[in-house]
Structure 1
Amino acid sequence: MPLTRQRRFPRSRASVRAARTFVEQVLAEWGCVDRLDDIRLCVSELATNALLHGVPPGRQYCVTLALDGPLIRLAVRDTGDHPVPADPPPSDACSGRGLQLARHVSDDFGITEHAIGKTVWTIFKTG
């Protein structure tokens, strides 16, 4: 049976650090630290995207970690209606590469659309 932990975070700049700390603590409890740098990067990028583009004022976003055998699933769900960009940013853009980074460092990546909001998720193989 998979282990799962989740926590909601407010729409505030400090919440990205809090989300990263939450993920670090859970992974340490589970003894799954071999992909910590990659997962830390992804939670920072996905939480920042949720904060900037996906969470309307007064709402929260949710970070979920699941451990199922050798797989760790990191998911960030928001409640906004801002779509995920279909194309990568132009090469001279100063921002907008967070999802590309998450795709690159994870073993799998996806976006699940909901009636309200979306979940951006990554999978990491451990061990």
Structure 2
Amino acid sequence: MNETTQLLESREAFYRRERRSVPFARTFVRQALADWACEEHHVNTDDVLLCVSELATNALVHGVPPGRGFKLFLHWDGAEGRLRVEIHDSGDGEVPEGPPCPDPTAEGGRGLMLVAALAKAWGVGERTPGKIVWCDFAAPARMFAEAPGGAHHLP
């Protein structure tokens, strides 16, 4: 396998509509990030794991009908230092176009605010049935600036 082939990676997992699916999803993502050495590219693992928790919880609470589950997809582009997290559900729950502004006394409703603050970008895509909620993470651009002689600098 050549280096270019190794730089583009994808993984997926399916989770049932159960509370324990959220920690299972975090464990799955943590292992993928370690396998791909994402921290060496300065992708913040804690931020990614928090966003996975929030998106998986939202899928369970708002997007997964009884008896169904959700799929988690990870796409890593090592050459660009970019990670995409996608949660695919089969429910009809709506996702706001921007992060909501919950009542300050409310117990919940801050998950997408966290995702918007921690990820480089996030959004919602169509799926029949259901939807895809995604977020992207990227290493700082300066990491990939070419140095004289073709070497890459680290910050």
Q: Same fold (TM over 0.5)?
A: yes
For the pair shown, the structure with the greater C-alpha radius of gyration is 2
1:65-102 per-position Cα deviation (integer Å, ceiling 9, x unaligned): 10113100011111101111454322222101101100
Match of 2:62 in 1: 53
| Runs of 4+ more than 4 Å apart | none
1:72 to 83, 91, 101: 83
Match of 1:110 in 2: 123
Q: Secondary structure at the residue paired with 2:38?
A: coil
1:28-74 per-position Cα deviation (integer Å, ceiling 9, x unaligned): 00011341000000000000000111001111101111011310001
Which stretches in structure 2 are left out of the alignment for 5+ residues? Answer: 144-155
Tell me the percent identity: 45
Match of 1:88 in 2: 101
Moved more, 114-123 or 40-49: 114-123
Structure 1 residue 123 and structure 2 residue 136: aligned?
Answer: yes
Provide the rounded CA distance (Å) in 2 between the counterparts of 1:60 and 1:115.
Answer: 14
Alignment TM-score, normalising by the size of structure 1: 0.93
Provide the rounded CA distance (Å) in 1 between the counterparts of 2:126 and 2:114.
Answer: 20
Moved more, 82-91 or 24-33: 82-91
Structure 1 residue 41 and structure 2 residue 50: aligned?
Answer: yes
Match of 1:5 in 2: 11
Provide the rounded CA distance (Å) in 1 between the counterparts of 2:129 and 2:111.
Answer: 22
Contact 2:38/2:81 (8 A) holds in 1: no
Q: How does 1:16-35 map to 2 (within 5 A)?
A: 16-33=22-39, 34=42, 35=44
Alignment TM-score, normalising by the size of structure 2: 0.77
**Letter aligned with residue 39 of structure 1:** V
